[in-house]
């Protein structure tokens, strides 16, 4: 799993967890809302129930007062009045008038067939009858079953006193408990229970939603002490006692706990000394909570599913983009091959395992000329085809092809067997050397390959690249060739590094010096000198130019070194010319990399102005390798040089890339015939013919011709016969230091 995918997954989990927390919070808030509503509603209905009960009891007490008044006047019940009351009050089962000794004095017609017990002696009634004898207000007794009627009744009693305050009777009635309960049951949905309880002994006198077969267990015994204790404990948590609740007249609410699962609202009625309460199971709240929770959960699940698909889409999109970015980061957009970043990537299997492998550093020979001559579109077409051929070559051997830079490639193959690698390289060179057709034009190019192997040569990829690159540079000298990195190459590499490091401080340490090789005309007169650089290092000794100049060019030291050589040569020769009052040409070699520097011409002019002399004549020697550069960019510089009377000499002519068209377009003043043509001129007719052709061509183009490497009289004679103008070589003089050059001038 990628880091980006992990982040996306983590973000999804955070969103999911956040949504779940919101779901929990929403559920909790909904729960508290419903709980608040339940408690508010319960507080209201409790008060309403208490009000109804109180009103009913007041009404019943008023009836008892009326009947007791009538009975006082008549000493018996007024049957007509009572029957009228009973007809309008179905809750009442009848009335009876008892003597203070508990015996029945008179009964209503509804109780004519009922034999009533002595209330003072009956176990079910004597307690409450005695209590009624002592109370001015109506008293309520605990419910009991009236056997003759087979009905549960709630007895209500009130004493009757004469004018002197003596108890003369007790008027009593009974409330039909089943009918009373049914009235409240009809108005209830069954989820809420109302209850009225006597204060002094905690007998229930009314409880709704109680089945008839449960009356015995409900009304025959008081509320258990455990329940009373639990209520007291919960009240204590709110810093309330039963007594303070009796005194306050306020309702109190109790929430479900571990010992009871109901919402409970309790209220005390001091007039009738009864507790009024309403209770509702917490399950009813849970039922109310289920629909919104289902809605919230459904919304959350839909949100979660939608988020999942969105995040999966985003993850796939990121994966696709990451794959595209990875492809762009690791692939060369032109060829489709891996680029150099793969060399440091763990995706490259050669990094992940210890299998031996060979690294081939491939450089296309003279590829730049195609870009310069035909344009980059042609070069790109060839690079694409080369890449296809590299990929095709790996079908026969396990490996990876990489485009390193412009026309440089790396191929890694999983073998260090020399025979296998050599065979692969030969086939690869042959494949690359096959003609290319781009825009109906045929091209044929070759390649040079350097080979380094792991673990034989090194294990670090950068080191292997460096080793293979150095081997490639050696192979490039012969072109269309491959060379394995060896100890000899390694030693040369180490030496080159030492030379590079020492060369950086060579100028500051005054280790760089100049010698001058005379250039003679056909009259034997000195017509010029070529400045040649020499380097003697304290540790490395004498290092010839053909060793340190290429290193200076490769490492970027050459522009600074070339500027120093130019300045030193003009300084020394201008001083010598002033001293001898003699004018001759000073030829200075300028490397291709130095010449194409942006400020080269300005530096040349500044140096010439610094050492201005009437005797000074400057010739800048360039090699044919300079023509690899864009000739159109160089022509303005050549033109400026002509305007400043600076001559231009083409060094080592015949060994490089120049063509007749270039010679015609470039303002060359002098052609220098390379020493390799002069060496065998006396014995090789082909070399003689080549030299004669060069001289003739130079003459025809209006150029002077200089032959270098003249070492004997026979060579001189042949060159003079061919029409050569100037000569340079050991036949005339070896390169001389400034003192010896002065001595030579004195002898001429």
Tell me how far apart the alpha carbons of residues 62 and 54 are, in angstroms, rounded to a whole number: 12
- Angle at the Cα of 387 (from 385 to 393), degrees rounded to 5? 105
- Angle at the Cα of 236 (from 278 to 44), degrees rounded to 5? 25
pLDDT score for 655: 58
Tell me, what DSSP letter sits at residue 348? Answer: S
Q: Do the bridges between strand 192-198 and strand 104-107 make them parallel or antiparallel, or are there none, so unpaired? A: unpaired
Residues 211-220 pLDDT 10s: 889 999 999 9
Grouping H, G, I as helix, E, B as strand and the rest as coil, residue 145 is strand
| Residue 659: pLDDT over 60 | no
Q: Burial level of 719, CB count in 10 A (0-12/13-18/19+)?
A: buried
pLDDT score for 312: 86
| Residue 189: pLDDT over 70 | no
| Residue 378: pLDDT over 70 | yes
Higher pLDDT, 565 or 233: 565
8 Å CB contact between 628 and 407: no
pLDDT score for 372: 77
Residue in the block written with tokens 């949905």: 189
| Residue 307: pLDDT over 90 | no
Tell me how far apart the alpha carbons of residues 251 and 266 are, in angstroms, rounded to a whole number: 6
Percent of the chain with pLDDT over 90: 46
Q: How confident is residue 481, by pLDDT bands cut at 50, 70 and 90?
A: very high
| Residue 657: pLDDT over 80 | no
pLDDT score for 343: 84
Structure tokens at 63: 């009836």
Residues 6-26 pLDDT 10s: 777 788 888 888 888 998 998
What integer best gives the mean pLDDT of the chain? 88
pLDDT score for 81: 78
Residues 70-88 pLDDT 10s: 766 666 777 777 888 888 8
Residues 668-681 pLDDT 10s: 999 999 998 999 99
Q: How confident is residue 4, by pLDDT bands cut at 50, 70 and 90?
A: low
Ordered by where they begin, the domains of the chain are 46-282 (3.30.450.20), 340-485 (3.30.70.270), 500-747 (3.20.20.450)
Q: How confident is residue 451, by pLDDT bands cut at 50, 70 and 90?
A: very high
8 Å CB contact between 651 and 622: yes
| Residue 683: pLDDT over 80 | yes
Q: How confident is residue 162, by pLDDT bands cut at 50, 70 and 90?
A: confident
pLDDT score for 553: 86
Half-sphere exposure of 677 (CA within 13 A, CB side): 23
Residues 325-341 pLDDT 10s: 878 888 898 999 999 88
| Residue 347: pLDDT over 80 | no
pTM over 0.75: no
- Max Cα distance, the chain (Å): 183
From the list 183, 225, 190, the residue with the least C-alpha distance to 206 is 183
- Angle at the Cα of 415 (from 412 to 420), degrees rounded to 5? 105
8 Å CB contact between 277 and 265: yes
Rounded to an integer, the average pLDDT of 515-525 is 96
Tell me how far apart the alpha carbons of residues 178 and 168 are, in angstroms, rounded to a whole number: 32
Higher pLDDT, 233 or 346: 233
Structure tokens at 623: 């090699």
Q: Burial level of 568, CB count in 10 A (0-12/13-18/19+)?
A: middle
Structure tokens at 318: 């990121």
Rounded to an integer, the average pLDDT of 726-738 is 96
Residue 580: CB partners within 8 Å, gap ≥ 6?
742, 745, 746
CB atoms within 10 A of CB 646: 19
pLDDT score for 530: 97
Residue 737: CB partners within 8 Å, gap ≥ 6?
513, 515, 516
Structure tokens at 578: 């002033």
Grouping H, G, I as helix, E, B as strand and the rest as coil, residue 444 is coil
């Amino acid at each position: 799993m990628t880091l980006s995918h992990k982040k996306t997954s983590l973000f999804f989990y955070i969103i999911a967890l956040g949504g779940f927390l919101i779901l929990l919070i929403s559920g909790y808030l909904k729960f508290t809302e419903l709980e608040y509503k339940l408690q508010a509603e319960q507080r209201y209905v409790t008060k309403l129930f208490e009000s109804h009960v109180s009103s009913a009891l007041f009404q019943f007490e008023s009836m008892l007062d009326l009947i007791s008044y009538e009975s006082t006047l008549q000493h018996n019940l007024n049957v007509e009045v009572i029957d009228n009351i009973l007809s309008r009050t179905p809750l009442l089962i009848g009335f009876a008038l008892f003597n203070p000794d508990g015996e029945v004095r008179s009964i209503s017609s509804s109780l004519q067939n009922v034999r009533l017990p002595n209330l003072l002696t009956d176990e079910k009634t004597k307690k409450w009858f005695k209590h009624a004898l002592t109370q001015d207000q109506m008293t309520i007794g605990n419910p009991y079953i009236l056997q003759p009627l087979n009905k549960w009744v709630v007895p209500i009693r009130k004493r009757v006193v004469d004018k002197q305050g003596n108890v003369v009777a007790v008027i009593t009635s009974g409330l039909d408990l089943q009918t009373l309960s049914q009235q409240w049951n009809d108005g209830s949905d069954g989820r809420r229970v109302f209850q009225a309880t006597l204060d002094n002994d905690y007998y229930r006198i009314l409880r709704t939603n109680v089945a008839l077969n449960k009356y015995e267990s409900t009304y025959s015994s008081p509320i258990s002490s455990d329940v009373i204790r639990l209520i007291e404990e919960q009240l204590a948590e709110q810093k309330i006692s039963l007594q303070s609740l009796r005194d306050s007249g306020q309702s109190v609410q109790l929430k479900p706990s571990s010992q009871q699962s109901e919402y409970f609202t309790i209220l005390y009625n001091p007039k009738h000394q009864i507790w009024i309460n309403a209770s509702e199971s917490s399950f009813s709240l849970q039922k109310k909570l289920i629909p919104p929770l289902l809605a919230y959960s459904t919304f959350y699940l839909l949100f979660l599913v939608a988020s999942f698909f969105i995040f999966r889409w985003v993850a796939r999109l990121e994966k696709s983009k990451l794959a595209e970015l990875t492809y762009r980061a690791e692939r060369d957009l032109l060829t489709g091959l891996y680029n150099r970043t793969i060399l440091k990537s763990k995706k490259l299997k050669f990094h992940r395992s210890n299998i031996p492998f060979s690294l081939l550093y491939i450089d296309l020979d003279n590829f730049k000329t195609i870009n310069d001559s035909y344009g980059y579109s042609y070069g790109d077409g060839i690079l694409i085809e080369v890449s296809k051929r590299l990929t095709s070559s790996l079908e026969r051997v396990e490996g990876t092809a990489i485009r390193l830079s412009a026309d440089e490639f790396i191929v890694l193959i999983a073998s260090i067997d020399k025979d296998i690698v050599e065979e692969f390289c030969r086939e690869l060179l042959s494949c690359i050397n096959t003609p290319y057709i781009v825009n109906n034009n045929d091209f044929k190019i070759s390649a040079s390959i350097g080979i380094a192997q792991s673990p034989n040569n090194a294990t670090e990829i950068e080191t292997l690249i460096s080793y293979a690159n150095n081997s490639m540079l050696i192979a490039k000298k012969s072109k269309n060739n491959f060379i394995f990195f060896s100890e000899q190459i390694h030693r040369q590499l180490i030496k080159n590094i030492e030379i590079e490091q020492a060369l950086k401080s060579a100028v500051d340490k005054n280790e760089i010096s100049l010698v001058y090789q005379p250039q003679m005309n056909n009259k034997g007169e000195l017509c010029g000198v070529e400045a040649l650089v020499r380097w003697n290092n304290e540790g490395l000794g004498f290092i010839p130019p053909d060793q340190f100049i290429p290193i200076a060019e490769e490492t970027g030291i050459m522009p600074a070194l070339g500027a120093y050589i130019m300045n030193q040569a003009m300084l020394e020769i201008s001083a010598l010319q002033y001293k001898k009052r003699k004018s001759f040409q000073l030829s200075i070699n300028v490397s291709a990399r130095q010449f194409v520097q942006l400020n080269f011409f300005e530096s040349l002019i500044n140096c010439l102005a610094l050492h201005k002399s009437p005797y000074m004549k400057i010739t800048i020697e360039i090699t044919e390798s300079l023509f690899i550069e864009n000739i159109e960019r160089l022509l303005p510089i050549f033109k400026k040089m002509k305007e400043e009377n600076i001559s231009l000499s083409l060094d080592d002519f015949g060994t490089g890339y120049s063509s007749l068209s270039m010679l015609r377009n470039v303002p060359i003043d002098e052609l220098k015939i390379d020493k390799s043509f002069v060496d065998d001129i006396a014995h090789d007719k082909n070399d003689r013919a080549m030299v004669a052709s060069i001289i003739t061509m130079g003459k025809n183009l209006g150029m002077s011709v200089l032959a270098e490497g003249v070492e004997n009289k026979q060579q001189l004679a042949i060159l003079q016969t061919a029409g050569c103008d100037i000569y340079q070589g050991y036949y005339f003089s070896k390169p001389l230091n400034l003192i010896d050059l002065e001595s030579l001038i004195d002898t001429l």
